[in-house]
Structure 1
Amino acid sequence: MPMERNGEGRVQRPRERGSGKRTRRALFADAAAAWATISVVPAQVVAAPGRVTPNSRPALAGVGVGGVGFPQLQDCERVGFDVVALCDVDDEYAKKAYDRWPKARRYRDFREMLATEGDKIDAVHCATPDHTHAIVTLAALRAGKHVCCVKPLTRSIQECRAVVEAARKAGVATQVTASPNTSEEACRTCEFIQAGVIGPVREVHIWTERPWWPQGMTRPAGEDPKRATLDWDLWLGPAPKRSFKGDWPDGHYALQQIQAFRGGAPISKAVYHPFNFRGWWDFGTGALGDMGCHYLNTPFRALNLKSPTSVEASSTRVFDETPPLASIVTLEFPARGDMPPVTVVWYDGGLKPPAPQELEGVPLPAEGTLYIGDEGKMLGARVLPGKRAKDPDSVPKTLQRRGDTFAEWMEAIRGGQPAGCNFDWAGPLTEAVLLGNVAIRAGKRIEWDPAEVRIKGNAEATKLLTVDYQNGWSL
């Protein structure tokens, strides 16, 4: 569908919106009781009491072990974990993990796994679809397990507050697998910006070529036979019941749009599972949720960001059940100490900001981050030619380079410093990303009140901060 643009070239929200009535959601009564400020968990309390010592191999259970769960469990094993239990609702999708760790005990339901394994496991890695991140991580935290979760931490702000608070109470080591903010590139970016190489930063532009899955569409009709290897009801979990659908038919526009984005075959032809859950609000968080925690992680650290004051979005047509095919989201952050207010602009669906003239005609990469300061510009950690306030070569390397997501988590479990994207850090990061989705769905500029957990003056948008848990599930 062609984009509508205003005179400045920005994507403009079409007046026509998808049909269908949005499910009403009640704001959970305790949503505001979570956190008012970010707290840093002391190193001496992140390692839970038990048998994990600086030289031991923690026993790890994986939940969601197909897809990205499989390589991330391999990474966990590489840094010293023993993979002893595997849980997945789809035996066919999990086969690679079952073959890799044949002695690991197998489960379909993570609740049964936690009840059965008990003290035989020390930590849990969660790589399920977004809509079940909260129920898995909360159950593991309440069982006293160290937890690592793929991004985004949760699918809703209500869930995010609950997970962060549970992690604080548990006093365990946590990590979100966003791009590490302690890598060489991330640390150098932070050092340059905080040393004032490009002066005060007032704009950040972030773009991605995602989505690599279908979205911006309506739900397909009918029902397909369920595979015997898949427990569809467990896969749905707390999401509303819906009929199982297998693959999109060849030639369907949902697949054609992804082939256009990726320049090749789609990663998955599935309607929902595997992989393509990302394109449905009931299960995923769209391109912004999938990639925002990666690309916002370093700007959050470099610029000491926390909560935006307002968020505004423009996009292609908005449907009730799926994110739009492309969007631009603008987040306004207030001044922080001696740092001025900053505008962060997110682009997806192949959209990008204008290439800065300092690139001298070289196009922007497919994905990236552009920092614009009063005295210069940076593309990632690269200081662009031209004006600058300070020679970047004069800036010393002062930040600790860690950069390995799973090694950081292991260090925290063994009593070292907290992981770089622990849940306390990831909470506000996740909230900012999810607020972008709220603005997309609300269709108007929203003003955020983090202390009261509400959208100021907009009761309907406030309902989008929560999800209705169904099928007997609860937080």
Structure 2
Amino acid sequence: MTSQAGSSRRSFLRRAAVAGSVFSVVPRYVIAGSGQTPPSERIRVAAIGCAGRPVSNIVGVAGCGAEIVGLCDVDTRRTGKMQEKFKQAPFFKDYRQMLDTLDKQIDAVTIGTPDHWHAAMSIECLRRNKHVQCEKPLAQTFGEVDQMIAVARSAKLVNQAMNQGHAFDTIRTFREWIEAGLIGTVKEAHFWAPASYSCMDQLDELTKTHSIPQELDWERWQGPVAPHRAYCPLYLPGRWRFWTDYGCSTLGDWACHLMDPIFWALDLGLPEAVRVDDLGDWEPSKHGVTYPKGDVFTLSFPAKNARGPVTVKWFDGPRYRSVPCPDGLPHDQFAPRMEKYVNSGPSGEGGVIYGDKGVIVYGSHGAKNLRLIKDGKLVDTSDANKDLPPPRYPRVKGGSPYHEWLDAIKGGAPVGSDFAYAGNITQASLVALAALFDPGKRLEFDPAQRAFKNSSAANARLRVKRLPGYGV
């Protein structure tokens, strides 16, 4: 493709994305001879991160018609599956080299890296005129989320955070129930995630010398983190969420899925206060490089528009067993009382939304497994119940965030979970995680000033120092 043709294609896709629902699929003959590529052709996607969770995203966008044109990962121990599946896509260890080399061949980038890389990579791609899909949580620090949102707004490109449940039908049903007043005014919500992301009993491993695997570029993996640490196998693969330098703990991993429905339905915004109710024997000065084995937070959201204040309680790790069971729900149907935990299953993560006229219970991702309790009894939520509100919000094709992202790039409806929306959920989580470093009291947060009013220790966690040269 010539430079002029590549520029024309990118310009067209940018205009199509800005136009939003004005476009859907434009036949080739409509723009024949214009030098512009019709949006019905395949979107060319490069992937940063090719093992673990990102595999689902790469396969997902490819299955929805995208062409995978480049792959990048700094650790090749687990990338063989994607390299074999997409043999035509060149493989890189340096994402900037990939962006330089394939620039005119890339329309969009899907980012599936550890949290500490999200901001730098997303901002870099947006500034290079690429549409972006980024894994959740959106970033590792509060300040980085603000940066990402600002750059995304100025770039006017499609940006999507991968709390994929926002594309599901059930989250729309949940909002329709709330707006129809099925449970009245929402006062409180409880959320839980059984996962425990902590290495506080293994911190002595950090003092030992470990050989760096030949397949891993350890310095490049750490990227913007300051300072770089000596390698330890407890960091990766798959365990970087356990560490305050690289991840956002269980709360950061799961809040984007579990709190998504009420953030959307109630427009929660940012909390005005947070309190750490329980963190076990974790101490900031002793264990601060990793997260607690389990914790309980209370977040207070102020009244907004027509709704009153909302209290949100969060339980994770072994503390999830202490979530109160709502009246009217048998204990053997309530996940925290079930004997065996199954990730994302009926006995896994979930939430309870308390209104003054009823209760809604749901599972993970997009309010799956919705249940309604009225007058202390479970309500029939099948289509046979004509008292339930009819669908109001448009459904995403196949409930697929990948269809949604690619269609938005082609000029279809905007994505539901863009950086501005998802960033709000991430920042609420980061406010709570910052409170870990000043436990034992109610910390007041000022959303306008983007800071705590009464804790310098917590404020220090909202914006951490990054190495120069990464754009954050």
Q: Which category of TM-score, normalised to the shorter sequence, fits these structures? A: 0.7 to 0.9
Q: Deviation string for 1:268-300 (max 9, x for gaps)? A: xxx011000000000101000111111111111
1:186 counterpart residue number: 171
- Matched to 1:224, the amino acid is H
1:244 counterpart residue number: 231
Alignment partner of 1:458 is 2:455 = yes
Q: Which segment drifts farther, 90-99 or 54-63?
A: 90-99
Q: Highest relative contact order (Cα 8 Å, sep 6+), 1 or 2?
A: 1
Structure 1's 42 and 211: CA in aligned 2 closer, same or farther, altered over 3 A?
farther
Separation in 1 of the partners of 2:114 and 2:310?
A: 32
1:334 counterpart residue number: 302
SS of match in other structure, 1:359: coil
Residue of structure 1 aligned with 2:215, choices 220, 224, 229: 229
Separation in 1 of the partners of 2:331 and 2:82?
A: 46
CA RMSD of aligned residues (A): 2.4
Unmatched tracts of structure 2, length 5 or more: 1-16, 25-34, 336-347, 363-369, 380-384
- Matched to 1:358, the amino acid is G
Aligned-residue offset at 1:154? 0.2
Residue of structure 2 aligned with 1:272, choices 201, 216, 235: 235
Please give the residue correspondences for 1:323-402 in structure 2 after superposition, counting only pairs within 5 Å.
Answer: 323-352=291-320, 353-365=323-335, 366-380=348-362, 381-386=370-375, 393-402=387-396
2:123–2:471 Cα contact (<8 Å) kept: no
1:285 counterpart residue number: 248
Separation in 1 of the partners of 2:256 and 2:94?
A: 28
Separation in 1 of the partners of 2:126 and 2:164?
A: 23
- Matched to 1:242, the amino acid is R
Residue of structure 1 aligned with 2:20, choices 43, 59, 68: 43
Q: Which segment drifts farther, 200-209 or 450-459?
A: 450-459
Separation in 2 of the partners of 1:452 and 1:340?
A: 22
Alignment partner of 1:467 is 2:430 = no
Separation in 2 of the partners of 1:394 and 1:76?
A: 34
1:138–1:166 Cα contact (<8 Å) kept: yes
Structure 1's 360 and 294: CA in aligned 2 closer, same or farther, altered over 3 A?
closer
2:133 counterpart residue number: 148
SS of match in other structure, 2:102: helix
- Matched to 1:404, the amino acid is S
1:305 counterpart residue number: 268
TM-score, reference length from structure 2? 0.82
SS of match in other structure, 1:166: helix
Q: Deviation string for 1:3-50 (max 9, x for gaps)? A: xxxxxxxxxxxxxxxxxxxxxxxxxxxxxxxxxxxxx98727999xx9
Aligned-residue offset at 1:218? 2.5
Separation in 1 of the partners of 2:105 and 2:39?
A: 18
Q: Deviation string for 1:158-207 (max 9, x for gaps)? A: 11000111111111001111142242211111111111101101001110
Structure 1's 337 and 387: CA in aligned 2 closer, same or farther, altered over 3 A?
farther
Q: Deviation string for 1:140-159 (max 9, x for gaps)? A: 01101000011001000111
Q: In the comparison of the two structures, how many residue pairs are matched?
A: 410
Q: Which segment drifts farther, 397-406 or 119-128?
A: 397-406
Separation in 1 of the partners of 2:37 and 2:93?
A: 27
Separation in 2 of the partners of 1:275 and 1:392?
A: 46
Separation in 1 of the partners of 2:469 and 2:128?
A: 20
Q: Which segment drifts farther, 123-132 or 399-408?
A: 399-408
Separation in 1 of the partners of 2:458 and 2:318?
A: 27
Structure 1's 408 and 462: CA in aligned 2 closer, same or farther, altered over 3 A?
same
Residue of structure 1 aligned with 2:431, choices 420, 435, 442: 435
SS of match in other structure, 2:353: strand
Separation in 2 of the partners of 1:396 and 1:203?
A: 25
2:171–2:261 Cα contact (<8 Å) kept: yes
Structure with the bigger percentage of helix: 2
SS of match in other structure, 2:187: strand
Structure 1's 169 and 95: CA in aligned 2 closer, same or farther, altered over 3 A?
same
Separation in 2 of the partners of 1:324 and 1:46?
A: 48
SS of match in other structure, 1:289: helix
Structure 1's 280 and 216: CA in aligned 2 closer, same or farther, altered over 3 A?
farther
Q: Which segment drifts farther, 434-443 or 285-294?
A: 434-443
TM-score, reference length from structure 1? 0.82
